[in-house]
Every structure is written in C-alpha cells, then in structure tokens.
Amino acid sequence: MAWNTNLRWRLPITCLILQVIMVVLFGVFVRYDVQADASWWLEKKRKNISSDLENEFYYRYPSFQDVHAMVFVGFGFLMTFLQRYGFSAVGFNFLLAAFGIQWALLMQGWFQKFEDGIIVLGVENIIEADFCVASTCVAFGAVLGKISPVQLLIMTFFQVTLFSVNEFILLNLIEAKDAGGSMTIHTFGAYFGLTVTWILYRKNLEQSKQRQSSVYHSDLFAMIGTLFLWIYWPSFNSAISFHGDAQHRAVLNTYLSLAASVLSTVAVSSVIHKKGRLDMVHIQNATLAGGVGVGTAAEMMITPYGALIVGFCCGTFSTLGFAYLSPFLESRLRIQDTCGIHNLHGIPGIIGSIVGAVTAAYSSPDVYGLPGIVHSSGFGGYKTDWTKKMQGRSQIFGLLLSLAMALVGGIIVGLILKLPFWGQAADENCFEDSVYWEIHEEANTVYIPEDLARKHPTSMITSVPLVPSPSMIPPVPPTPPASLATPAPSASFVH
Amino acid sequence: MAWNTNLRWRLPITCLILQVIMVVLFGVFVRYDVQADASWWLEKKRKNISSDLENEFYYRYPSFQDVHAMVFVGFGFLMTFLQRYGFSAVGFNFLLAAFGIQWALLMQGWFQKFEDGIIVLGVENIIEADFCVASTCVAFGAVLGKISPVQLLIMTFFQVTLFSVNEFILLNLIEAKDAGGSMTIHTFGAYFGLTVTWILYRKNLEQSKQRQSSVYHSDLFAMIGTLFLWIYWPSFNSAISFHGDAQHRAVLNTYLSLAASVLSTVAVSSVIHKKGRLDMVHIQNATLAGGVGVGTAAEMMITPYGALIVGFCCGTFSTLGFAYLSPFLESRLRIQDTCGIHNLHGIPGIIGSIVGAVTAAYSSPDVYGLPGIVHSSGFGGYKTDWTKKMQGRSQIFGLLLSLAMALVGGIIVGLILKLPFWGQAADENCFEDSVYWEIHEEANTVYIPEDLARKHPTSMITSVPLVPSPSMIPPVPPTPPASLATPAPSASFVH
Amino acid sequence: MAWNTNLRWRLPITCLILQVIMVVLFGVFVRYDVQADASWWLEKKRKNISSDLENEFYYRYPSFQDVHAMVFVGFGFLMTFLQRYGFSAVGFNFLLAAFGIQWALLMQGWFQKFEDGIIVLGVENIIEADFCVASTCVAFGAVLGKISPVQLLIMTFFQVTLFSVNEFILLNLIEAKDAGGSMTIHTFGAYFGLTVTWILYRKNLEQSKQRQSSVYHSDLFAMIGTLFLWIYWPSFNSAISFHGDAQHRAVLNTYLSLAASVLSTVAVSSVIHKKGRLDMVHIQNATLAGGVGVGTAAEMMITPYGALIVGFCCGTFSTLGFAYLSPFLESRLRIQDTCGIHNLHGIPGIIGSIVGAVTAAYSSPDVYGLPGIVHSSGFGGYKTDWTKKMQGRSQIFGLLLSLAMALVGGIIVGLILKLPFWGQAADENCFEDSVYWEIHEEANTVYIPEDLARKHPTSMITSVPLVPSPSMIPPVPPTPPASLATPAPSASFVH
C-alpha cells in the first residue's frame, strides 16, 4: 500500500492548531503558583517563612532537571539505535514531548492543581508533565519507525488525556501510591503503545527489515540515551516524593536496583548466546529495568537488599523478554514492538506494581513508627480506618486499572491512527529518515595520513533513480567492496 | 590567497602569554568571597546565620552546573554539524571558553565585584563568566570554519572586554534588567559575530562549499548540543535571578517558551519544503529560539501564555530566517554566517529585548503588589521617582546600546583579525579539521556478520600528494564507491 | 597464544555469584541511615531540626548526580576513542562500575559507616562508592582492549577492596585530607592499573596496532566523555567537602584549575607537532589534568591564582607525558598504557598530592582564623597538639602509602589475571569489540541527494571466512577507493 507521505500541509496545520489551542487554554486557565508569583513575598510574610530556600523550587529543581534530561536526551537518543532513523528518533521524540508537556500541564492541572477556576503552575507541575510525557515516549518506542509525526501528535494528545484520567483515579480516588510511576507511567505507557502497534500491524514489514537493525555508531548514540536514563533514574523516582527521608530513600533504592539489573542483564545476555557474546540491545535496555521495577516502591521501606533483589529480577526477566518473548509476540500475537518496550517497561512495570503492593501491604509500624506510617502513607484524618492491607489492595486495583485503560485507550487510538490519511510510510519505507527529513548528501571523504593532511575529497554520490516499490528493489546480496573484487589495480595504486 | 597555517609558535605563545597574564592578574586582584572563604564561620556568627544552606552556593550551584554544560557541551556539540569540522567545533569552543571565563572573571570582577581593591570570587561570578563566554560562543558560530584558533583567542579577548563594559553600562548605569541575557548575551554576541564575519568576508568561499554541509552522523552529534542547550535553558535564564519566586518563575517561563518554539519550528520547517520534509538545521537551531526570546522577561510576570506566545513567534521567525534571510544576507550583504546565529540569537534576541521592555513598561502593582514591584524591579531607595515607563525606556536604550557596541566593536576586531598573519586557512581549506588537527588515518573496516566476526581489516588510505593550491585540485566529479567503478561485476552482483 | 574467549558460562557465573554475594551481605549488614529512614521525623523532633532541607540529601544530591554522570558517561565515553572498541569501552565500564559501587558500599561501609553491626546508608555513601569506582575506571584505562569482562570484574573486586583499606588508613588513621582524591583515587588508581598492565605485558601487541588508533567519529564520541568529566569535575572535588565555604571553595578552585589546564594543553600540543597541529588525544585527556591536580587541595585556601598555576602545570606535564613518556614506558618499561592514564591520573595525581601537602603544611591561622583552621583541618579535641607541619607530613605519608598499595596490590592482582582461563583475547584480537559482542552487519548505504531521497541500499558485506591466526591474514595494503584507480567509468556511471 502506498500512502502519500508529503506532510507539507498536514503537519504544519496540526502543529499550529494544537499550539493555538494551548495558548488559548493557558490564557484562560493557567497562572503562577504563589511560590512562583510576585506575591511570594506576601506569602512568606503570611506564613512566617524565614528563608527563600523553603520555596518548593529549591527542593525539586535539581531533580526536575535530571528528569528533563531523561525525557529529551535519554529517550531521544535511546531510540537512535536504528541505522537510518536517528533524525526521526531524536527529532520526533523532541516534538511529541514538547507538545505533550503543554497538554499535560493542562490535563493534570485540571485534575490536580485546580483552585478557584485556575490551574496554579509551579515546579511540581512541570515535573509531573515530564512524567506524563515519559509514558508517551515509552509508547513511541513500540511504533518507532512506523508512524508519521502527525500520527505521533495525535497519539500524544490522546495518551496524555488518558494518562491524566488514569493518574487522577489512581492517586486521588483510590489513593494508590506511585512515586516513580511503575503503574501510571511504565505499565500504562507500555501496554498503551503495544496495543496501538497491535492495531497498526503491518503484514509486510519485513520489506524494511534491513533497516530495522543497528550499525556500529548508531549503537553508540543509543548508549548516550541509555546512560543518561540510567544515571538520572534515581532523580526520576524521587522527584515528587515527600521532602526529607522519602526523597533520600527513593534515590538509594533506585541506585541499588539499577546497579543489580546491570549485572543480571550481562549475565543473561551472555548465557543465551551460543558463543557467550553480549548483545547491545540488552545492554541498552534491560539495564534500565531496575529503575522501572522500583518505581512504585522506591520511597517505601523495601530495604537496600530488597532493592537489589528487585533490580536483579527485572534485569533478568527483561533480557529474557528481548531474547524469547519479543519474537513470539511478533510472530504469534502480531505485536511489532520496535524498541522492545514490553521488556523494558511492560514486564518490569508489572513487577514494580506488585512489589509496591506487597511492600505497602506488609508495611509495619515497627518499621515506620506510627507517625511515620501515617505520614508516608497519608493515613490519618478521614483515613483513620484505612489499613495497610487496604493500601495493598488499592495498589493492585491501580495496576489493573492502568492495564484496562491502556488496552481500551490503545484500541481506540490505534483505530484512529489506522485511517489512511495521516502520512504514514509504506511498509518498504519504514525505519527510514528520508521519508520525513531532508537528508544531505553523504561525502565519503578519504583521509590522507601524516603530513599530507589536506583532504582530497571524493564524494561518493549516486543518482540512482527513485525505486518506488519493493518489487522493483533488486535483492541485494552482501557485496564486498570493489577493492576486494579487483584487488590488483587498487593495490598497485598505493605504492 | 595562501596563508601560512602552521601555528607551531603562534598558538602556543598566544596561549602562554594569555595564561601568564591571567595568573598575574588573579594573583594581584582575585580573592575568595567571604562565602567561599575560611572566614565563613565568622560571617555566619556575625550575621547570625543558622544554616550553611544560606550560603549562596546552595542557591546557585545546581543552576551553574547546567549553564556550564550548556557552554561546553551544548555550544560545542551544536557546532559539530559540519562534516569535517567536528574536532575544531568542539575543541576550539573548549579553548575559547576556557580562556574566556578567566578573562571574564577579571573584567566583570573589576566592574561589578570590586571591593577594596580586590575582586571577590564566589559562585555568582562563575555563572556570570559562563554567561559572558556564552556570547563568545554565539559569535564563534558566525565565523565557524573560517578563522584560526589564534584569531579566536584574540576575538574572545576583545569580545569579553566589550561584553563587560556593555553589561556594566546596562545593568549598573542605566539599570536595565536582563536576567537571561537577551540583550547582553544574545543580541550583543550575535551582531558582534556577524559584524566580524562581514569584515572577514571571503569572496571565494564556495571553493570549500562541499564541506559546509553536514553528514548523517554529524547531524546527530549536533543534536546532542541542541538537546543539552534546550533542557538546561531554564537554568540559564534563572541562574542569577533573585532568590525565591523570581528564579522559580524564570524556569517556568523558559520551559513554556521553549516548548512552543519546537512546535512552530516544526510547522514552518515543514511548510516551506515542497515535499513537507523537515530540515535538521531548523530543528537543531530554531527550537532554541524560545529560550533566547524570554531571556530578558523570564523573571518578569509575563504570564504562562505570554511565554508560549513569545516562544511560538521566536521559533517561527527563526526558521523563516534560516530559510530566507540567511541566503539573502550572504548574497547581498556579504555576511557569511556559518551557523545562522542571526536566526538563533540575533532575531530572537531583539524580540526578547522588546518583550522585556514592554513587560517592564506595563508591569503593574496590581500584579506584583507594591513591595513586589519595588523588590523585583529594584525601585525604592534613591529610585523612588523611578517609574515603570522609565524602566521600559531604559530597556530599549539597553538594546540600542548593545547593538551599537556590537557593531563598532565588531568592526574594530574584524579589522584586527583581517591581518594576514594569524594562521587563517585559505578559502579552499575552510571547514576542514586537518588544517589545525592531526587526523588519524581512517580504517574503512569491513564487518563480517554472524559467527565469522573476527574482522578482516581493509584500510582504505590513499597517499595522494599534498595539493597546495585549488587550481591544482583536479575537478573531482561525484564518484561512486569503487564497486561501481568496475561496473560490470559489481552491477551484475546487485541485480 | 590463543585463549578461549567464549565466555558463555564464565561471565554469567561470575556476575551471578558476585551479585548473590552482594544481596546476602546487604541483607545482613546494610540499613538506611536515619536521614533516609522512616524514622527521620523522629530524628528531626529529637534534634529540633525545623526544616527538611537540613537533611544531608539536599546538601549533597546535586553534586552526587554530577559525579554519577562522570563515572558512567564521562569515563565510559572517554574510552570510546578506539575505532573498534566503543561497545566494550562504554559497556564494560558500565558493568564494572555497577558491580563496583555495590562492593564499595560494603567495604567503605565496614570501615567508615559501621554502627552497632550495621552499615548505615545515605547519600554520602553513594558519593564515596562512586569515588571508589572512579579509581577502577582509571585503572581500566590502562588495560583497555586487553582484558576480558571476567578479568575486569575480578580486578574491580580486588581494587575496591584495596582502595577501601587504603582510604581508611589515609583518612581515619593518619588523618590525611583528600577531598577530591588526588591520592586515594587518581594516584592509587593509576599506579594500580599501570602495575597490572605491566604484569600483563603482551609482547606481540603490535599485531592489533591497527585497531589501537581512533577514527574521526570515535574521537568525537570520546569528546562527550571529556566534556562531561570536565564540566562536572568541580562537583567531584567538592562533593564530600564540609558544608558551606569548603564546598564553595572547592568548586571555585577546580573551575579555575581546569580552565588553565586547557590553555597549557593546547599550547604544548601545538608546540610539539612539527606543523603546530593539535592532537585529539591531548585535548581529550590532558585538559582534565587540572581537576586531578587540585584534588587534594581543592577545599584548602590555595587561592585562586594558586589553582590556576596548578592547572597550568598539570596540563603541561600531562601533555608532555603523552608525547614523550608513554612511548618510553611502553618500549623500555613494558608498560602498555592504552589510554595514557599515567599522564592523566598518575603525574597530576602526584602533583596534586604534593600541592595538598604543601598547602596543608603552610596553612596559617592568619588565613583561616583559628577556629577556621580547627574546623577545616579537624584539629582540636584529641588533636590539640596536632600542627600543620604534622598535617603536611601526614599528607606525604598518605601519598607514599597509596603508591605502595598500588604497586603491591597491582602485582598480586596482575598475577591472578595472568592465569590463562579468564577469556582474554589473543594479541591479534585486542581492541576489537567482536570478540565479546554480537556485532550487527554494517550496511554501507549510499545516499541519494535531493528529491530522489528514498534510499537505494547497497550493503557492502563480505563473507570472508574466519581468519584464525594473524599469519593467515593477507597483508592488506592501504587501498584507495577504486574510483581513483579508474576514474573515467565511475564518472560516466553517475550520469
């Protein structure tokens, strides 16, 4: 099937309409929180606050910046592993996140920061908007290479909406805890994305299979993403925890869990290869599973060794998933999951949700102290009858709800995206930047060593005419460089 | 014209002299601020400060680190987009910034931190030194690929000097506000750099045109720069704002403005291409225009939707500038602006200055509260008669002064740099690392898939003798890889 | 010699055993510090702490994140400069650091954070664990490309153990100061690594010499490492300093020292090349020497110009070391130092240790104030008789001890690693990722400019059979692309 991929009007108009709507809604609804408002001096006076440091900004901003780096640098570069889709990976991630954070500020604002008809905007909002968009970046991983930027913006619009509803029900109605978002971000994001890609199943995707792998340098670019996600994940899981010990503990647990998942990933990656070689895909992804796995429980008293165990298990299951589950999902269930988000966010997200539920259910006043458990679980007040068992049940209910929302929402959004006029690429042109990007010619320069260092440029550009359909593409067998084909003249040239 | 590009003595001596001067001047003038001095314990006692957290360090350091990342990683990698100028982009940016921050500490110190014959050094100084150097990095973008490192050091020396004078007049004499530096950093830096490149106009630059474009991976390296600039820009605009609400608000406004400029950049980039394809140059640059555009007004009460509007406009005008204004500037006004800094820093800088002036002029006690406006605008004391209209006028005057300083300074510095003995490259050798860098030979290795993974190296290195002048370079047509040179076997192999 | 490099069982089992030991020991010994524990609310009450900000977390966490970035992104990418060892550089660094931090938490915990049979875990521990691992990353640089991941894990295990012993003796028994780790991290790490590589000397390493150099893009990846190390080094040297002025001062000194070492590196790199060209190896490494050089003295009152002088000297000696000492060490002393860690960490580490000793010996109450010197040097209490001369002597003793530990430990560990069953690569297969990594085939795609942008893939993959020994590799001369050999037909081919 050949769709029209010229986005000249569709993409600009989509961007324009969305951005104008944002401006109008921000104009009507969004104002600075008192901590970011010129009236902060008054607030300080009124509440007898002696130091500007008590402004929420100083508690949260360093964590925010790390989360921001994860969303834009981390997710963006993680997806550059494809040999010919780097521009789109990092560029479309940039686009969807830049739109998504605006829409998330509104949606989450209406649900959670609405005071007297106004959304009050402070540093917490922008952290939570980044969180929400992280779940969109997760879903993007499943459809990477197969949908157009217009489809991405539409998916982001709906996913942010659903995320905010789901989050509101979880955190405010059933009062589940989910500091690092194992349920709301990872489980929801992963199964939403998987459902969408299931609906968008492409039977003939093997026509662009040759581009669905990495090359040497694209794998290194992806490692930039991996490492920035890995190092800043402790900030992610602690960014909106309670001040003091909760933030502190969330960092420690995440740090430990991530460390353990690196070792189990390496172990499993090596043992499943017949020569014991490591696979970059595993190192790039499964090493992060530990961060997902302690998402819900990071701020809880899971103990340091508990965090290690969680990380170890998540790394193991995630790597096994890449090796055995993903091929199965694609061949049997027709789920084409480009980045393997089921292994990095789906499985560890569910593990993390269950760990959180169990930890909550067995949290004990012996550990927390009574005021501690009241404080950290928000019991007390109207919740005097609330028990830790009820908390555990509420966590499990939160997980099930996230899954349900993801499935139902994913089906609906998938069907919308299946419409033929969004500029999606044909099966044989998937995973290819040049469909949506102006690609400059590649000058394959030759370098002259030593003193003769001024370059003699030898651009290698062909003008092979456009090959419109896969049937016209000749089957390209592995070809050696010509120098090997005709060794004599080239060798003689050198001397 | 062929200049001598052997810098063996010129570059080391320039570095040495500058560094020795720095050591001597630091020895004479620079001492630790009391907050960084061993006498801090005494200061705490004297001022009855109960917590070490009240040390300015804890308010500013997280923002500083982000700014530092922007200057060295952000600007450095942003300029690696050229196919054969990555070493110089990142390396020379490193060199000029490392020298510039030292000289800026002295210049800004004499003007603004001079107490009893001593420059007092604290965390604010190093933030402002990084700011000052950011304006040099901006100017570097205009002359990228065309000047030698010796010229760069000289340009940096003069530009830092002029920057400090300009900043002193703006902030201390006419008391303009410019937290994020729309005027002092971006407008000044851009028009200074443009004036220098205008003076250094190279008629025959098309001789190295083939190297003035990007290749696939160089564009990805540049995106590292873009994203680190983008994510940390909120820290940039808030780093030296007043504690509390002003820092908090500056972050929010910058966050929003940047998000909006991504959408308008994508929209415009797509609509101006006949097939609707995006251009990496726009994504790499114009998405940042929103940060420049709220530079002056970031800490003001421009409202969240105001920030969105500013970002939207800046992204739009910046992208249009890349598409239509840059070619015009080059062909008609002989301004060869390698990175398009006029579009990223010039236009948005002017927009930002005007936005700041208007916001200041219309700031109202209804919004700020009277003590709020006194506090945030620094009215009161001897400035009791000062009005917001006067503030607006002073902002506009600041913009005009920055432009004037940039033009006059740029002409003088340009004429100095035009002297023929600074080691600049010939027109046909511009945008080429091997002029100033020892380039290792490129081993064009062949990878053997699957089990046969031990590599069979096939270095492709030519020993073409040095081609001293362009007239001697044979007109090299675009040539296919060797496999195509002996078409019969390879071609037959393909079909 | 041909070893078996199939790690299928050895690597997984090593990882598994180590990780299980970690879980058990953490289970027995490690608990949250009171500041990260649910009982923090009680502690606040007991100690009458009014604000959560007094939790150590808020003092240290921003610095921690920078240190974390240095260890994983900085060191990881710094070592990607080799053309065919990027996966291993960044991947093995990831593995060793992820294991090392866990083991360091235990070892350092037993020595320094042991209370009532329990290691108390807080933000300081994870900073110090990262510090400890940094010394392992340093040592990794010496053996890069020559040892297997199993060997790396064993080396890490022993090095972390020795590091912790050495650190305990230095900081707690002889009470030396070493905030930024010139002695404990850099000197120890460098000479340990050098001793190991000396024991593991490979006579026939020139068989893989062709892979021991960089290519254009690998040098740019390495610059990512360099720049993140450079910008965050101020956080490294200040991360565990005393609150307030000491942290503040350590940042300023490191900032200045690093800036100066950039200029001296450029100067020396240029002057020693006959055409005055810069060498990327120097820029990547010696620019960082300034950070090592003020490691010990960073928090002391060395004055701003003192910091500049230290940085200047370190940059100079480091660059000279790369140019003249490394070849000598390799040819005469049989020390094969892949990354030149002797120049980046060894020499500057010793300089830094001496600078620290001298600064301590001449620290004066005129400068610190008496309570200042008592506070910052920890005098007073049982140390009333302690004098600054004694402090100086204790610093020198610390340096000598670090060297001794490194040499003795390095010999023992080297001999262990010399055993033939750890999966090390043969001499002709060093510096090659495909020994330990599954490498995807490289598609050498040809780009079609302008409108014909859909790609015509021309994969250049050879099926050359596995070449088992170097003698079987045909001597492949540097070959030019065939287009140069037969220019006419290629031009005609292009049309």
Per-residue pLDDT at A3: 80
Cα-Cα-Cα-Cα dihedral sign, residues A339, A342, A348, A352: positive
| Residues constituting chain A | 495
Which chains are within 8 Å of B by 3+ CB pairs? A, C
Mean pLDDT score, C471-489: 36
Per-residue pLDDT at A450: 34
> Do residue C461 and residue A442 have CB atoms under 8 angstroms apart?
no
Mean pLDDT of chain A: 86
> Do residue C55 and residue A274 have CB atoms under 8 angstroms apart?
no
Decide if C101 touches A, using CB distance below 8 A.
yes
Pairing mode, strands C278-279 and A118-121? unpaired
Per-residue pLDDT at B344: 97
Per-residue pLDDT at A385: 56
SS3 category, C437: strand
Q: Shortest CA distance to A140 belongs to which of A131, A149, A128?
A: A149
Decide if C17 touches B, using CB distance below 8 A.
no
DSSP B258-281: HHHHHHHHHHHHHHTSTT--EEHH
Model confidence at A29: pLDDT above 80: yes
Instruction: Give the span between the Cα atoms of A278 and A338, in whole angstroms.
Output: 20
Structure tokens at B7: 């810098």
Per-residue pLDDT at C425: 93
Per-residue pLDDT at A391: 84
**C48-95, pLDDT tens digit by residue?**
998 999 999 999 999 999 999 999 999 999 999 999 999 999 999 999
Mean pLDDT score, A475-486: 37
Mean pLDDT score, A418-431: 93
Model confidence at A370: pLDDT above 80: no
As a whole-number percent, the residues of chain A with pLDDT over 90 amount to 76
Q: Buried b vs exposed e over B199-211: b needs ≥16 C-beta within 10 Å?
A: bbebeebebbebb
As a whole-number percent, the residues of chain C with pLDDT over 90 amount to 76
Phi (first) and psi of residue B380, to 5 degrees: 90, 175
Q: Shortest CA distance to C219 belongs to which of A308, B221, A97?
A: B221
Pairing mode, strands A30-32 and B30-32? unpaired
In A116-273, DSSP assigns E strands to 118-121
Alpha carbon of residue A264 to chain centroid: 22
Angstroms from B8 CA to nearest CA on chain A: 14
Say how many Å lie between the first and final Cα of chain B, rounded.
Answer: 49
Per-residue pLDDT at B210: 86
Mean pLDDT of chain C: 86
Q: CB neighbours of B147 closer than 8 A, spacing ≥ 6?
A: B155, B200, B417, B422, B424
> Do residue B84 and residue A447 have CB atoms under 8 angstroms apart?
no
CB-CB neighbours of A184 under 10 Å:
33
> Do residue A448 and residue B464 have CB atoms under 8 angstroms apart?
yes
> Do residue C259 and residue B98 have CB atoms under 8 angstroms apart?
yes
Closest by Cβ to A429, choosing from C37, C454, C456: C454
Per-residue pLDDT at B235: 96
Decide if B276 touches C, using CB distance below 8 A.
no
- Which residue in this structure is represented by tokens 């990496």? B280
Give the best residue of B219, B277, B483 to mutate against chain A (max A CB count within 10 A).
B277
> In which element (H, E) is residue C266 found?
helix C245-271
Per-residue pLDDT at A369: 63
Decide if B469 touches A, using CB distance below 8 A.
no
Model confidence at A388: pLDDT above 60: yes
Q: What share of chain B is helix, strand, coil (3-state, %, to 5)?
A: 65, 5, 30
Model confidence at A367: pLDDT above 80: no
- A438 - beta bridge partners? B279
Decide if A366 touches C, using CB distance below 8 A.
no
Task: Enumerate the residues of chain A whose CB falls inside 8 A of the CB of residue C56.
Answer: 248
> In which element (H, E) is residue C278 found?
strand C278-279
> Do residue B473 and residue A456 have CB atoms under 8 angstroms apart?
yes
Q: Buried b vs exposed e over C281-298: b needs ≥16 C-beta within 10 Å?
A: bbbbbbbbbbbbbbbbbb
For residue C372, what pLDDT band results from cuts at 50, 70 and 90? low
What's C114's DSSP letter?
E
Structure tokens at A164: 């905010």
Per-block average pLDDT, block size 10, for chain B (495 residues)?
A: 84 97 97 93 90 93 96 97 95 97 98 95 96 97 96 97 97 91 96 97 91 92 97 96 94 97 97 95 97 94 96 97 95 94 97 93 70 58 61 92 97 96 93 92 42 35 34 37 35 32
Burial class from Cβ neighbours inside 10 Å (0-12, 13-18, 19+) for residue A467 reads: middle
Please tell me which residue of chain B has the smallest CA distance to C489: B485
Closest by Cβ to B223, choosing from A90, A442, A459: A90
Task: Enumerate the residues of chain A whose CB falls inside 8 A of the CB of residue C217.
Answer: 217
Model confidence at C291: pLDDT above 80: yes
Decide if A243 touches B, using CB distance below 8 A.
no
Model confidence at A449: pLDDT above 70: no
Structure tokens at B346: 């010039």
Task: Enumerate the residues of chain C whose CB falls inside 8 A of the CB of residue B160.
Answer: none
- The type of residue at B16 is L
Give the best residue of C223, C309, C368 to mutate against chain B (max B CB count within 10 A).
C223
Model confidence at A490: pLDDT above 70: no
Per-residue pLDDT at B385: 56
Closest by Cβ to A482, choosing from B373, B451, B482: B482
Give the best residue of C439, C440, C490 to mutate against chain B (max B CB count within 10 A).
C490
- C30 - beta bridge partners? C119
Phi (first) and psi of residue A438, to 5 degrees: -75, 110
Q: CB neighbours of A41 closer than 8 A, spacing ≥ 6?
A: B244, B245, B369, B371, B372, B375
> Do residue B479 and residue A486 have CB atoms under 8 angstroms apart?
no
CB-CB neighbours of C8 under 10 Å:
16
> Do residue C19 and residue A308 have CB atoms under 8 angstroms apart?
yes
Mean pLDDT score, A337-344: 96
Instruction: Give the span between the Cα atoms of A237 and A297, in whole angstroms.
Output: 9
**C212-261, pLDDT tens digit by residue?**
889 999 999 999 999 999 999 999 999 999 999 999 999 999 999 999 99
- Which residue in this structure is represented by tokens 């390095």? C410
Closest by Cβ to B442, choosing from C58, C215, C463: C215
Q: Give the C-alpha distances (Å, rounded to integers) separating A335 from A195, A198, A202, A340, A404.
A: 8, 5, 9, 10, 18
SS3 letters for B437-483? EECCCCCCCECCCCCCCCCECCCCCCCCCCCCCHHHCCCCCCCCCHH
Instruction: Give the span between the Cα atoms of C152 and C165, in whole angstroms.
Output: 20
Model confidence at A111: pLDDT above 90: yes
As a whole-number percent, the residues of chain A with pLDDT over 70 amount to 83
In B191-262, DSSP assigns E strands to none
Phi (first) and psi of residue C345, to 5 degrees: -115, -35
> Do residue C19 and residue A490 have CB atoms under 8 angstroms apart?
no
Model confidence at A262: pLDDT above 90: yes
> Do residue C39 and residue A461 have CB atoms under 8 angstroms apart?
no
Decide if C370 touches A, using CB distance below 8 A.
no
Mean pLDDT score, C97-120: 96
> Chain C 385-444, CB below 8 Å of chain A: which residues?
436-444
Model confidence at C271: pLDDT above 90: yes
Q: Shortest CA distance to A367 belongs to which of A418, A302, A413, A424?
A: A302
For helices B10-29 and C304-320, give the axis angle rounded to 10 degrees.
Answer: 160
Per-residue pLDDT at A484: 35
Decide if A72 touches C, using CB distance below 8 A.
no
Which chains are within 8 Å of C by 3+ CB pairs? A, B
Q: What share of chain A is helix, strand, coil (3-state, %, to 5)?
A: 65, 5, 30
Pairing mode, strands B114-115 and B118-121? antiparallel
Per-residue pLDDT at B298: 93
Find the DSSP H helices in C30-120: 40-47, 56-69, 75-78, 86-112
Q: Shortest CA distance to C97 belongs to which of C66, C138, C62?
A: C138
Angstroms from B71 CA to nearest CA on chain C: 9
Per-residue pLDDT at B360: 87
Instruction: Give the span between the Cα atoms of A163 and A131, in whole angstroms.
Output: 10
Pairing mode, strands B437-438 and C278-279? parallel
Closest by Cβ to B485, choosing from C271, C463, C486: C486
> Chain A 43-62, CB below 8 Å of chain B: which residues?
44, 51-53, 55-58, 61-62
> Do residue A464 and residue C457 have CB atoms under 8 angstroms apart?
no
Structure tokens at C140: 């990794």
- B118 - beta bridge partners? B115
Please tell me which residue of chain C has the smallest CA distance to A365: C38
